[in-house]
């Protein structure tokens, strides 16, 4: 006949088993819910779950920001518009071919992205802020110099004011002609990421705010610049992969 101590031990085992079962059911429910919500669960262990959320939309005045209409000539003298990028994920930058400072690093970083992804759904839209000099022929030579081979990478030129309006009002990216600036122009070294429907996307910071842009002036190999800013090409690669999978 079981003693009182044995009975107490038996009831303890039953309660522990029940608690473990309930916790297990709850954990499965949480993981299933996250998957249905479109989140990716990585390194799931009890008490150490890391959840990577889908990329955020950039919202202005209550509306998700979309790339505005544009139409410019590319390095092959072909007219290219924003509609040509629908159905593709693409990276946007503003540059000029005679830039003596950040542009060579930016273009090299984009070539690194090009060489990382063979997906035909990935494209690039590079707009010159010095269209008077950067003709289609000049852009073609520039593309060969840097090994640009992606058929969806357009280096575009056209009316300077239209390009500046696209940079400033469409992307909120700096673009100015400044006489005493290196090369005669100043501009942002940031990249913008656009999804297949033409919306500007980015990851969020720890407070839930969208980062909006990706730093394009530091290479993965360099890691950190002299100001202590970290490279963001690695996270851009990760976020491109997320959008390609959508």
What's the predicted TM-score (pTM) here? 0.78
- Averaged pLDDT for residues 66-90: 98
**CA pair distance 243, 88, nearest whole angstrom:** 9
Model pLDDT for residues 158-215, shown as the tens digit of each residue: 999 999 999 999 999 999 999 999 999 999 999 999 999 999 999 999 899 999 999 9
Q: Which of 41-50, 94-103, 117-126 has the lowest mean pLDDT?
A: 41-50
What's the helix, strand, coil split of the chain in %, to 5?
A: 35, 25, 40
**Selection from 179, 192, 194, 80 nearest residue 139 by Cα:** 80
- Averaged pLDDT for residues 137-154: 98
Model pLDDT for residues 35-61, shown as the tens digit of each residue: 344 333 333 333 333 335 689 999 988
**CA pair distance 226, 25, nearest whole angstrom:** 50
- Which residues, other chains included, contact 80 with Cβ-Cβ below 8 Å and sequence gap of 6+? 71, 72, 73, 74, 154, 156
Query: Rg of the chain over CA atoms, in angstroms?
Result: 25
């Amino acid at each position: 006949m079981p003693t009182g101590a044995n009975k107490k031990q038996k009831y303890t085992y039953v309660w522990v088993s029940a608690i473990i079962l309930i916790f297990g059911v709850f954990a499965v429910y949480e993981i299933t819910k996250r998957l249905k919500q479109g989140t990716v669960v990585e390194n799931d262990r009890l008490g150490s779950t890391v959840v990577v959320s889908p990329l955020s939309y950039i919202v202005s005045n209550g509306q998700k920001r979309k790339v505005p209409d544009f139409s410019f000539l590319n390095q092959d003298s072909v007219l290219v518009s924003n509609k040509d990028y629908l159905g593709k994920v693409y990276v946007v930058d503003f540059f000029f071919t005679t830039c003596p400072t950040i542009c060579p690093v930016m273009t090299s970083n984009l070539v690194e992205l090009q060489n990382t992804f063979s997906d035909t759904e990935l494209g690039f839209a590079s707009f010159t802020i010095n269209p008077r000099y950067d003709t289609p022929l000049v852009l073609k030579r520039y593309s060969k110099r840097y090994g640009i081979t992606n058929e969806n990478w357009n280096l575009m030129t056209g009316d300077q004011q239209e390009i500046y309006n696209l940079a400033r009002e469409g992307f909120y990216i700096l673009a100015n002609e400044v006489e005493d600036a290196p090369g005669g122009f100043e501009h942002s070294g940031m990249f913008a990421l656009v999804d297949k429907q033409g919306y500007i996307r980015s990851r969020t910071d720890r407070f839930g705010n969208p980062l909006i842009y990706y730093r394009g002036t530091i290479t993965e190999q360099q890691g950190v610049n002299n100001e202590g800013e970290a490279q963001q090409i690695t996270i851009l690669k990760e976020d491109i992969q997320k959008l390609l999978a959508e």
